[in-house]
Amino acid sequence: MDGTTREAQISAAFVTVAETLTAEHDMVDVLHTFVERCAEIVRMDAGGLVMVDDADDLQLMTSTSEAAMMLESMQLADAAGPCIECFRTGEAVAINDISTSVAWPEFCANAVDQGFNSLLSIPMKVHGRVIGTMNLFRAASEAVSSRDAAVAQALADVATIGITHERALHQAQVVEEQLQNALNSRIAIEQAKGVIANGLSLSMDDAFVLLRKYSRDCNLTLRAASEMVSRREITVQHIVAAATRG
């Protein structure tokens, strides 16, 4: 990746964060796109983002692949793993060769099974409080450079500002409602992905791509489109037809 391309990608990531500062935005879609771009910038293959809800429990907000989602969900269920460690300490966690790591053996074994051999977990903080982590996975066993780690942290810092936004910093309830709405949206999206995947014999990843394209083409939020799919207000055939026209 040359310097010009990298700078353009970083700029695009900041633009994505800026979208959270608008009056209306689809937080789950913004976060998904943001994690995708961060992973690409620092040469990682997949990623996920977890954040605390209004009960201070960590919840998965988005993941760029089913493999990443499985690993994130496993850590949340077990309350153990690099993302949990990152959240508890507020410090980045890097594993350069998962296959030889002695920490979190069950997680590491599953990560290798999913095709990942190195990772980086980055804390997301607001006013010194850790509200989540961004977790990036790579197929190759190699160290994340200090420059890439710094870029990932800077992007996560800006994303945290965008998510909480100054208009909500003095209103804790608004922040909690934002995060809860994002969680509810993710649940609706997962349900719709299942409907599309089953109806079209697709992978969950491909189902999400189709769902996101449909929502954007029709100027709908991901949550609105997902709820329409789950309520059978639109059929999977309709989504395919719309995608073909696009």
C-alpha–C-alpha distance, residues 151 and 164, integer Å: 20
Compute φ and ψ for 67, nearest 5 degrees: -65, -45
Tell me the CA distances in angstroms from 218 to 81, 155, 222, 237, one per residue in order. 39, 29, 10, 15
Q: Provide the pLDDT for residue 169.
A: 47
Closest by CA position to 120, among listed 42, 41, 65 = 42
pLDDT of residue 166: 44
pLDDT of residue 243: 76
pLDDT score of 121: 98
**Taken in order 236, 237, 242, 243, is the CA torsion positive or negative?**
positive
Other C-beta atoms within 10 Å of 214: how many?
A: 26
What was the pLDDT predicted at 158? 82
Report the pLDDT value the prediction gives residue 159, as an integer from 0 to 100. 80
pLDDT, residue 5, reads: 72
Q: pTM, whole model, 2 decimals? A: 0.70
* Sheet containing strand 58-63, strands side by side: 58-63, 46-52, 129-138, 118-126, 93-95
pLDDT 10s digits, 44-60: 999 999 998 878 889 99
- Looking at residue 15, its pLDDT comes to 66
Query: Which residue ranges form the domains of the chain, and what is each CATH number?
Result: 3-167 (3.30.450.40), 185-245 (1.10.10)
Q: Which residues of the chain register pLDDT less than 70?
A: 1-4, 6, 13-25, 165-179, 246
Residues in CB range of 131: below 8 A, 6 or more apart: 51, 52, 124, 125, 160, 163, 164
Q: What is the CA radius of gyration of the chain?
A: 18
As a 3-state breakdown, the chain gives helix, strand, coil percent values, each rounded to 5, of 60, 15, 25
Largest CA distance in the chain: 51
Angstrom distance (rounded) from CA 213 to CA 219: 10
pLDDT of residue 20: 53
Handedness of CA 78, 80, 82, 88 (dihedral sign): positive
Evaluate the CA torsion angle 111, 114, 117, 120 in order and state its sign. Answer: negative
Would you state the pLDDT for residue 174?
Answer: 55
Helices 3-18 + 146-164 axis angle, to 10: 20
CB 58 within 8 A of CB 132: yes
